Amino acid sequence: MSEAGVRGRWSDLLRPPYVLPALTLCLGEGIYALNTFLVSTALPSAVVELRGVELISWAFTLYLTAAIVGGASAGFLKQMLGARVSLLAAGLLFALGTLLAASATSMPQVLAGRLFQGAGEGVIAATCYALAAELFPRTLLPKMFGALAVMWASSAFGGPLIAGLLTEWLSWRAAFLVNIPLILIFLGLVAGTLPASGRTDRPAPPPFVRLGLIGLGIMAIALASRTQHVALTLLLMAAAALLLAAVLLLDRRQANRLFPQGAFGTRSTLGAAFWVVLLMPVAQAATTVYLPLFLQAGWGWRPTYAGALSALMALSWSIFAILVANLTSGRWPVRFIRLGPILVAVALLAQAFALPAGLPWLVALAQIVIGAGFGVNWGFISQAVMEAADPAETDMASGLLPTVQSAGYAIGAALAGVIAGMAGLGEQLDIATMERSAFWIFGLHGLMAVPAILLARRVVIRKLA
C-alpha cells in the first residue's frame, strides 16, 4: 500500500484503509496465541476425564508438527490459491479440528482434532506474517509487528484465565470451543477485507519430502514414549536422529533449500545460533506439557491458578525482552545470548526440585526465570542469525526462526513424553509417581539446555565483535 500521508504512528493502524487488515492479521495471530494457552490449561482435565494421561505430550507434538508443515506450505498455498482462499480453507480446517477435539469421547479423537488445528493454524500464522509486508507501508510495519506481539502478551494473560474459569464452571470442552466464535469472525474479516489476488501460474512447490522426514523424525520420538521396551525406545530414538540428520544432508543438495548455508553447523555463528534457537525450546517444552498437569492433578490446584502460574513464563519473556531491547552497546548482546540458556537450565533444574518438594514459590520463580532467559536471548540471537547469514539468504534465515523454534517445542514435547513413560506416568496419577516423574522430566530437560549453553559461546554479532 502507498506510504503517502502515513507517518508510522499507532493511530494510523486505527484508521482506514489499515484498520480492518490490521484487525484481521492480529486476530489470526491472536487465535494461534490464545489457543496455545487455552489448551495448555484445559488439557490436563481432558486427559484425566478421557483416561489418556500417557498421550498428553502427543497433543502438543502432533499440533506443532502439523503447524510446521502447514507453515512451510503457506507460501505455496498463497501462490496457488491466493491469500484469501488459502486463509479461508485453513480457518475451516482449524474450526474442524476444534470441534473434533471439543466433542471427543476418546484421546485419539482429541489428537485428530489437534492435528487439524495445527495444520490450519500453521498456514494462518505464516500467511498473516507474509501479508503484513504486502498490506502495510514500511513506515507502519514496526507498529504492525508490535501489535502482533501484543496479541501474544494479551493471550498469555487472558488465555489461562478464560480456560481455567470455563474448565471449572463448565467443562474443558467449553475452553476449546472459545476458538469457534473467534475463527468465524476471522473468516468473515478475511472474506470481506483481503484481496483475492496473489496467485501465480507456477508456484514453487514446498519440499514435501524433507518436511515429511521432519514429521516422521518427530513422530518416531513420540512413538518411543508408547513402548515399554528399552531396546525399542532406543531404536526409535536412533531412527529419529537419522531421519532429522537426513533432512539436513538432503537439503544441502536442493535448489529450494529449507535452511540457509551453514545452518546447524557447530563452528560458525549461524550454525551455533540455529542450534540455540532449537535447543532452548526443546528444554522448555517440559513446562508447557507437564507443569499444568502436575499442578492440577498433583497439588490439587484449580485450572485457573495452574494456568496463571504456567503463563508467568510468557509474561516474563515479554517484560525482559522490553527491558533489554535498548542495551545494544558494547558486548551486552553477546552476554544476553549466552545468559539465556543458562537461565533456562538453572530454572528447569530448580523445578525438578521444587515440584516433588511442594514449593510453589520456587516453581513460580523458575517460570519467571525461564521467561527471562528467552526474553534476554531471543531478540539478539535473531539479530545474530540475520547478520551471519549470506545476504542473499537473510530473508530465508530470519523467516525460518519461528519454524525452528516450533520444531524445538515439538521435539521437546515428544522427549518429555518418553521420559514420562519411562518414569511410569500413566493413567494412575498417584503422588509418588508424579513426584518421581516431575524430577526426571524437568531434571533431564534442564540438562538438555547444556548444549545450548556451550554453543551460545560460539555466537557473535559481527557489528559488535
| Ramachandran area for residue 425 (φ above 0: left; ψ -120 to 50: alpha; else beta) | beta
Angstrom distance (rounded) from CA 274 to CA 449: 14
Coil, strand or helix at 299: coil
Angstrom distance (rounded) from CA 410 to CA 65: 6
Q: What is the pLDDT of residue 465?
A: 42
Tell me the residue length of the chain: 465
Angstrom distance (rounded) from CA 9 to CA 18: 12
pLDDT digits (tens, 9 = 90+) for 50-72: 888 777 878 888 888 888 888 77
Cα 377 to its chain centre, rounded Å, is 16
Contact 178, 162 (CB under 8 A): yes
What average pLDDT score do residues 5-18 get? 65
Angstrom distance (rounded) from CA 246 to CA 314: 33
Residue 3, pLDDT > 60, answer: no
Torsion of Cα atoms, 360 then 322 then 282 then 165, to 10°: 50
- How much of the chain, in percent, has pLDDT values that exceed 90? 20
Residue bearing the bigger pLDDT, 176 or 232: 176
Cis peptide before 17 (omega within 30 of 0): yes
pLDDT digits (tens, 9 = 90+) for 256-271: 777 778 888 878 888 8
Give the cell for residue 233: 525406545
Residue closest to 179 by CA, chosen among 58, 32, 296: 32
Picking from 9-13, 148-152, 384-388, which range would have the lowest pLDDT averaged per residue?
A: 9-13
CATH class, 1-206 region? mainly alpha
pLDDT digits (tens, 9 = 90+) for 420-463: 888 877 666 678 888 888 899 999 999 999 999 999 998 877 65
Give domain 265-465's CATH number out of 3.40.50.970, 1.20.1250.20, 3.30.70.1880, 2.60.40.10. Answer: 1.20.1250.20
Q: What is the pLDDT of residue 5?
A: 53
Angstrom distance (rounded) from CA 282 to CA 347: 14
Residue closest to 172 by CA, chosen among 294, 33, 293, 299: 293
Angstrom distance (rounded) from CA 46 to CA 123: 26
- 425-432, Cβ contacts within 8 angstroms, sequence gap of 24 or more: 425/53, 425/54, 426/53, 426/54, 427/51, 427/53, 427/54, 429/48, 429/53, 429/297, 429/298, 431/298
Residue 387, pLDDT > 60, answer: yes
Highest mean pLDDT among 84-98, 211-225, 299-313: 84-98
Residue closest to 251 by CA, chosen among 241, 262, 240: 262
Q: What is the pLDDT of residue 138?
A: 65
Q: Binning pLDDT at 50, 70 and 90, where does residue 360 land?
A: very high
Q: Binning pLDDT at 50, 70 and 90, where does residue 140 land?
A: low
3-state secondary structure string across 13-27: HHCCCCHHHHHHHHH
Residue 137, pLDDT > 60, answer: yes
Residue bearing the bigger pLDDT, 82 or 345: 345
Residue bearing the bigger pLDDT, 2 or 391: 391
Identify the H or E element spanning 450.
helix 450-456
| Cα four-point dihedral sign 159, 161, 166, 171 | positive
Q: What is the pLDDT of residue 8?
A: 56
Q: What is the DSSP code string of 130-166?
A: HHHHHHS-GGGHHHHHHHHHHHHHHHHHHHHHHHHHH
pLDDT digits (tens, 9 = 90+) for 105-129: 998 999 999 999 988 988 888 777 7
- How much of the chain, in percent, has pLDDT values that exceed 70? 86
Highest mean pLDDT among 100-104, 237-241, 419-423: 100-104
pTM across the whole model? 0.78
Q: What are phi and psi of 430, to 5 degrees?
A: -80, 160
Q: What is the pLDDT of residue 194?
A: 76
Q: For all residues of the chain together, what is the average pLDDT?
A: 82
pLDDT digits (tens, 9 = 90+) for 264-290: 887 888 889 989 989 999 999 888 888
Give me the residue label for grid cell 553477546. 334
Q: Binning pLDDT at 50, 70 and 90, where does residue 416 land?
A: confident
Q: What is the pLDDT of residue 442?
A: 95
What average pLDDT score do residues 162-172 get? 85
